[in-house]
Structure 1
Amino acid sequence: MRIILFIAVVIFLLFLSIRFLEKKSLYFPLQKIESTPQDTGLDYEEVFVTTKDGVQISAWFIPSGEPRATILFSHGNGGNISHRIEKMKTLNDLDLNIFIFDYRGYGMSKGNPSEEGLYLDAEAAYDYLVNEKKIPAGKIIGYGESLGGAVIIDLAGKRELGGVIIEGSFSSIRDMAKKYFPFIPPFVFKSSFNSFEKIKSIKSPKLHFHAVSDETVPFELGKKLFDNALEPKEFVLLQGGHNDSFLISQDVFITGIDLFLDNL
């Protein structure tokens, strides 16, 4: 009996340790805002939105004079919105409004990050654009960077989007876990971020970017996600790694988005 109890305690402690490891390996929030769009000459509006579960999240709205569309930007799992300003400027130069928000627990947003929480954050950001900014749903393009790709794919299954752009994202957390923690059964992970299944039902046009030498999200997981997506879709290969491909392949990146917008 004591042996059984001991084994049960060990399994329970192991389970708790895995859950702790999961959260620490998924979210790397920073609270300090290092800079603002104004530092690169961009006009912007600071916005605070409340999610349906009562969490206040922060965001920036960066306008364009004659916008082709509005980008709803869901960033990756590290840093905060202030670490994406260079990318925001590149997108804004393509005559795009940008609405970039921080997940709960990131930047000036309240609360703590979780899978369901991130989904609610994106829904609140989208609803703000439609209800407060009066932007037509068909003129909103969801842009998901890395983990943000899973957030935007989930949103696209719940809200109308004119298009979806995915940069360096993965098929699911369990697929990622097989790569990083092959000794742990995937089913014990609480988070799923199962984009592989969700993307099958998204009819909006899709543009996928992935770096061939991505050291964080394996290229094959990005390709697996793309292959399961419905048409119309386009895959653009970038050079470089997970965090520098945008800079190394900037011309390819800009051309890819420009053509995508022209075809919407």
Structure 2
Amino acid sequence: MIRPQNKNRRHRNISYTKHLFIIQLFFVFFLVSACNPVITFLSFHPDDRYIIPQTLLPKGMEEVFIETKDGVTIQALYLPHPSSKRFTIYFHGNAGNIYHRIHDYEKLHKLGTSILAVSYRGYAKSEGYPSESGIYLDGKAAFDFVKNIIKVSEKNIYILGRSIGTTVAVDLAQDTDIGGLILISPLSSGQDQASFMGLGFAAQLATNAFQNEKKVRRLKAPLLVIHGNQDKIIPIDFGLKVFKAATSVRFFYEVKGGGHNNLTSKFGDQVFSAVSDFFSKTHNTK
């Protein structure tokens, strides 16, 4: 015999379904609204402990402090070159801080360029907390400092970014008339990177994050992309996507056997030779 369904039970089922839908809707809303904090958490690993005293820095290198548009004071290391007009602004990767890359600055300096190595907000002695929009403001403040305070012409400024630093470099370079843009191990986009990392649904929420491939299309300056073909963190295919998207004069250097974190430590001769060649090729380009 078929028993009639209890009316109270039916109402409980409808109520349960309704509440489940609300919970699911809230969960989706939470994921979307939390997308930027999640991306920030995954993208930045700041180190504010490893500090080298000014007295132990390489000869001629000094600390400078720069205020950003939103009122955050960031730190940078400035190494002037006595005889070269060329100036390179250096944006490092997502881990460690500017002090971990001092050997890179010294090698670049020997190629004939002044250096400003920028510490993102939350890193080393810089104030604040890192975020995608925040590090773009840091980059703009550093560029304005070089142009307006140190008085360097745009055509003599080169912007170098490594790993996540390439996102700052591309964002900054897309609307400037600089001497050249150097990208070491660039990601193509936040969505590509999230998919590569196996983040699944979260990758669809990162569609507007770190859009190197899209922004580089606006670049007018010469471009050099350097990427290791054994990079397991940001695959070389992503670097090639950025390179192919550019319409300006462009060069690609593949480091055979190079990974993500060992490019300048193990393959430094190749990397800095490629940078030196780029400096020479673009000297009279603009």
| Fold conserved between structures, TM > 0.5 | yes
Q: Is the 8 A contact 1:38 1:44 kept in 2?
A: no
Letter in 1 for 2:87: T
Shift of 1:150: 1.1
Q: Which residue of 2 aligns with 1:198?
A: 215
The match for 2:268 is: 250
Computing the radius of gyration over CA atoms, which structure comes out larger, 1 or 2? 2
Further displaced range: 152-161 or 56-65: 152-161
How many pairs were matched up? 264
User: What is the CA–CA distance in structure 2 between the aligned matches of 1:255 and 1:3, rounded to whole Å?
Assistant: 60
Quick one: distance in 1 between partners of 2:248 and 2:54?
35
For 1:221, the equivalent position in structure 2 comes to 238
Which sits farther off after the overlay, 28-37 or 71-80?
Answer: 28-37
| TM-aligned CA deviation for residue 33 of structure 1 | 3.5
Residues 227 and 258 in structure 2, CA contact (< 8 A), matched pair in contact too: no
**Structure 1 residues 137-195: Cα deviation after superposition (integer angstroms, max 9, x where no partner):** 11110001111111111101233211000000111011101111352153323761101
Q: Who is 1:119 aligned against?
A: 136
TM-score using structure 2 length: 0.86
SS in 2 for 1:263: helix
Q: Alpha-carbon deviation of 1:10?
A: 3.6
* C-alpha separation in 2, matches of 1:32 and 1:153: 28
2:7 maps to none
Q: SS in structure 1 opposite 2:183?
A: strand
Structure 2, unmatched stretches of 5+, are 1-17
Where structure 1 has 5 or more consecutive residues not aligned to the other structure, the ranges are none
CA contact (8 A) 2:162 2:184 kept: yes
Query: Is structure 2 residue 100 aligned with structure 1 residue 75?
Result: no
Instruction: Give the corresponding residue for 2:127.
Output: 110
Partner SS, residue 252 of structure 2: strand
Q: TM-score, normalised by structure 1?
A: 0.93
1:151 paired to 2:168: yes
Report Cα offsets for 1:75-121 as digits up to 9, x if no partner.
Answer: 11111110110111111111210001111111111111111111111
Aligned partners of 1:34 and 1:83 also within 8 Å: no
What secondary structure sits across from 2:188 in the alignment?
coil
1:255 Cα deviation after fit: 1.6
Root-mean-square deviation (CA), in Å?
A: 1.9
**Deviation of 1:245 (Å):** 1.5
- Partners of 1:41 and 1:177 in 2: how far apart? 38
1:134 alignment partner, SS class: coil
Q: 1:228 to 1:205 in 2, by over 3 A?
A: same
Structure 1 residues 10 and 153: CA distance shift in structure 2, 3 A: closer
Q: What residue number does 2:258 align with?
A: 240
Residue 90 of structure 1 aligns to a residue whose secondary structure is helix
Measure, in 2, the Cα distance between the counterparts of 1:218 and 1:24: 21
Structure 1 position 247, deviation (Å): 2.2
> How much has 1:72 moved relative to structure 2?
0.4
Please give the alpha-carbon distance, in whole angstroms, between the structure 1 residues aligned to 2:74 and 2:277. 32
